[in-house]
Amino acid sequence: MAIKLGDYKTGVHNDWCPGCGDFGIVNAIQMSLAEMQIPKHKAAIFSGIGCSGKTSHFINTYGVHTLHGRVLTFAQGAKIANPEMTIIAAGGDGDGLGIGAGHFVAAGRRNVNMTYIIFDNAVYGLTKGQASPTLKLGEQTKSLANPNPNYNVNPIALAISSGFTFVARSYSYDVRQLKDLITAAVNHKGLAFIDVLQPCPTYNDLYTRDWFSGLDQINEETKKPTPRIYNLADVGYDPVVHYSTTTELNEKLAQALEKSLEWGDKIPTGIFYKNELVTPYTKRITDKIPNYLENPAAKQKISKNGKPTTDISEILDSLCV
Amino acid sequence: MVFDYSWLIGGPQGSGVDTAANIFSRVGTKLGYHVFGKREYHSNIKGLHSYFVVRLSDNKIRSNVNGANIMVAFDAETMIRHGLSISKNGAIIYDSSIVNTSIDEIPTIEADHRVRLDEFFKSKNMEPKVSSIIELAKESGVNVYPISFRDALSNIADELKRPELSRMTRMFNVLGVSFSLGVLKAPIAPLLESIEEIFSTKPTIVDLNKKAANFAYNYASAKFSGFNVSLNETDKEPNIMLVQGHQGSALGKMVCGCRFQSYYPITPASDESEFLETHEILQVKEDRPGSTTIVQTEDEISAIGMAVGASLTGTRSATSTSGPGFSLMAETLGWAGINEVPVVISLFQRSGPSTGLPTRQGQDDLLSAIHAGHGEFPRIVYASGDVEDSFYDTGKCFNFADIFQLPVIHILDKFIASSVVTCNRFEPDLVSIDRGKLLEKIDGDYKRFAHSPDGISPRSKLGLENGVFWNTGDESDEHGHISEDPVNRIQMMDKRQKKVEQILTLVPKNDQVVAYGKSDICIVSWGSPKGPILDAIEMHRNEGNEIGFIDIKLLEPFPTEYVKLLLKDSSVIVDIEANMTAQLGSLIRKNLLKDPDYYVLKYTGRPMTCIEIFDSLKKILEKKAEKRQVLLYGD
């Protein structure tokens, strides 16, 4: 029997502010799970701390609301121990690129087969609007006493240079595109990253829904706003690394990095970079442990009638000198 | 007369001291002796001083004595540091080229130590040189045996027609151990066998080393044939292993089904993870091979995060670290506490605070283990006293974690990790596996944190059908969803806290505290002082003095009533531990409302010897002891 979209929803009251971009992201995750028909016990949503951290409570799959900045550590541990699970990690930009930046970089290097979604609104919402790592130098959102004194992290560029093999951006009000990207990310063989731009209607008065829609950029001829958001797929951009050649790889990396710098009147979304030629972590384990996928940590039988079945006699023999 | 003999080898780090000690320990084991060896080294890769003392005995031994009987020194620093610790009628085998080296020419001696040495030589009216040490050793009745290591190497090079060998000073170690065994007239066969076994993966090196060993052995046994002590084949007990400290808990993890370990490199814990990774593919009875997935993480925060994530899938999971790494794990420890996740943290203590003495012994993290993390949640802190214990205790720790659904901190330390000892072959059949309320199948409604009389709810795992649950570091309801309701809060806090009573009721008393005889004077201790304490007690028994000892293994929750019972007939309590402030003592004061009568403490970063403990107990027996004795022995 088909699993319905509603089956992925919990009855937990959603306490996000009206108009919050988070809603679109939760909806897109649920739509994507329904589209892929993943049984709810086969998926786990891991989340960090902050408004976005509550995401896991609204989705009716295994939900693990972890610690500030640490979501990737828990998620990778679970995925490596039980590679049959579909794992989606979600967290804020402060969570993943501030306090958790070290884990972000290390996760890229590992390339574990799972998806990481950053809710990117440039502020720390739940603590009342401090500057987050994606707020640009000199910008002053409404609860800041002074303009932001720090340069911003570029999440797309950081992901690419850390080794993520699927790097995408979306916009939380474009739920359909986001849903498609989540599905593509989950199906990607390796670590996928989606940076989701989203307004924080309460604390970010710069990157508002109207700003993303380009209400300040009225086309003189059509008298209509020129949206800032556009889709790379619509402009003939090919993010995929097709061959194992350094030349092509470097071209694709350079192209993605260049695109990641585009900001202002036009903001690209969609897939920036995708490379399935890099070995996923699974492969790196099966190279050492050939039956890892059939018999991973979580599936192994360790005892019979309360007694261990592991046989260490060979090692003990070698220690009896 | 019981044979009890200690051999010391020293040298710059990276010069192969460990290999030489490994050879000597194997030879001793093959001959049927009980072996206790300890390694001391600086936080350094190459050049600073390290040394190894290997003690051999006819009897079971669990510690080192002070000093040694025989020493081999191919560098001046070893002579300066250890030359005067060799006992009367013992021997010093040394490289004749170091005789004229003065302490000024040894840049690796710390400035403070240099000042002490200067004062020492001044007081003796001697030059601060190796030759003075040799003179003093001779005066105290030590045999001194100069050998030119370089000439020996040249001779071997000539014999094998390989001139390049004459520059291979790395071989000084094999020469040193072979000279020693020659002086001690040990049978040569175990020496050659040991070399073969140790270098088994490098056939070209095996041959070369065997030839060098043969040469050195024959040279020394002929030239110094007058030495009056010899190593002989003794009655060898069956099923004796020669095991390194870190292997106990690693083997314990394999046997008890730990299948995931994440770690960040840190001394002295990493050896355990590396051993696990070397043996990552596991043989399983009547089944396909299993495996342990070992992940080296970016930091200790990630190490514990991954272990907790892996545990949520039903996998027995662990992380392994030392004090600084454990400090970083504190926040996640609390998460595992509130989410009732079984996870084992093997805490190999070293001396703190901060980086402290990173390669040295210490037991100063007991209170850190008990209190790490904010907020209130139950945990188990469990300590092992030696390598053999650590094997069996590891299995128990995983059972505790599963049965009580909480983090378990298994405390070990540098002394255990870097000792090399003989012990009875581990018996995996003595290990039991109890996974508590872990479910394999769920029908109908499920609530991960359902209230239950014992505070422990049936546990689902990621991937189990009908077992969906939520976790959160926030206070939660029975499903695991965030709840700030005051009534729920008190129910959940009380639910978790019920485990404390469960632990004290269900963990067998003999696993909580091990009592080694009762007496009017009773020692209380925890962890690795166990070995030297037991040896010291035996020495006192031989002099007609009975001293009791209780080894407290379960340190949190503290088994107050049982400890009280065990101590009720003792009028004098002696707390022995390797820290400055007597951390176990503070637990006894808090829980038993009783101040131990005496404290014997050591925080030099060096392990206790049985002699030091013997002496401190003697003072207590003679009523000449201060309330607090601080032990200082060792370099």
For each of the domains in chain B, give its residue range(s) and CATH number, in order of start.
Answer: 4-223 (3.40.920.10), 245-430 (3.40.50.970), 437-507 (no CATH), 510-631 (3.40.50.920)
Instruction: Give me the residues of chain A with pLDDT under 50, please.
Output: none
Residues of B numbered 280-309 whose beta carbons fall under 8 angstroms of chain A's beta carbons: which are they?
Answer: 280-293, 295, 297-299, 301-302, 304-309
Per-residue pLDDT band for B55 (boundaries 50, 70, 90) equals: very high
Return d(Cα B534, Cα B548) in angstroms, integer. 10
Residues ≥6 apart with Cβ < 8 Å to A200:
A17, A20, A21, A121, A122, A123, A125, A129, A207
Count of C-beta atoms within a 10 Å radius of residue B313:
28
Question: Cβ contacts of residue B21 below 8 Å, gap of 6+?
Answer: B9, B37, B39, B52, B54, B177, B420
Residue of B nearest to A86 (CA): B463
Q: Is the pLDDT of residue B297 over 80?
A: yes
Is any Cβ of chain A less than 8 angstroms from the Cβ of B251?
yes
Q: What chain A residue is nearest to B261 in terms of C-alpha separation?
A: A77
**For range B561-572, the mean pLDDT:** 97
Beta-bridge mates of residue B295: B262
- CA distances in angstroms from B623 to B521, B542, B615, B633, listed in the order given: 12, 20, 12, 22
Burial B587-625 (b: 16+ CB within 10 A, else e): bbeeebeeebbbbbbbbbbbbbbbbbbbbbbbebeeeeb
Identify the sign of the CA torsion B613, B614, B619, B622. Answer: positive
The predicted structure's pLDDT at residue B204: 85
Q: Which CATH class, in words, describes the domain spanning A8-286? A: alpha beta
Q: Where are the domains of chain A?
A: 8-286
- Does residue B1 have a pLDDT over 90? no
ipTM entry: 0.98
H helix intervals, B263-365: 270-278, 300-311, 323-328, 330-338
Smallest Cβ–Cβ distance between A319 and the set B243, B293, B302 belongs to: B243
Instruction: Determine which of B284, B344, B399, B442 to mutate to test the interface with A (most A C-beta atoms within 10 Å).
Output: B284
DSSP E strands in B67-194: the ranges are 68-73, 86-95, 143-147
Q: Residue A1: what pLDDT?
A: 77
What distance in Å separates residue A151's CA from the closest CA in chain B? 25
CA–CA separation, A265 and A263 (whole Å): 7
Residues B457-475, mean pLDDT to the nearest whole number:
98
How confident is the model at residue B623, as a pLDDT? Answer: 97
In the numeric block, the tokens 């020419």 are attached to B105
Compute the average pLDDT of residues B120-125: 97
Answer whether residue B518 shows pLDDT above 90. Answer: no
Name the strand (E) or helix (H) holding A9: none
Confidence grade of residue B375 (pLDDT, cut at 50, 70, 90): very high
pLDDT of residue B235: 87
* pLDDT confidence bin for B266, thresholds 50/70/90: very high
Nearest chain A residue to B308 by CA distance is A74
Chain position carrying tokens 């188990």: B380
Question: Residue A297: which of B473, B463, B80 has the closest Cα?
Answer: B463
For an interface test with A, which of B434, B470, B482, B485 has the most A Cβ atoms less than 10 Å from its Cβ? B470
Q: Which band of pLDDT confidence, cut at 50, 70 and 90, is reported for residue B15?
A: confident
Contact B260, A297 (CB under 8 A): yes
The pTM of this model reads: 0.97
Distance CA B210, CA B414 (A): 32
Strand ranges for A121-198 from DSSP E: 123-124, 130-131, 166-171, 191-197
Average the pLDDT over B439-451 and give the result: 96
CA distance A300 to chain B (A): 7
B332 touches chain A (CB under 8 A): yes
Strands annotated E in B356-509: 380-383, 407-413, 419-424, 470-472
With contact defined as beta carbons under 8 Å apart, do A78 and B462 qualify? yes
Q: Where are the beta strands (DSSP E) in B28-138?
A: 34-40, 49-57, 68-73, 86-95
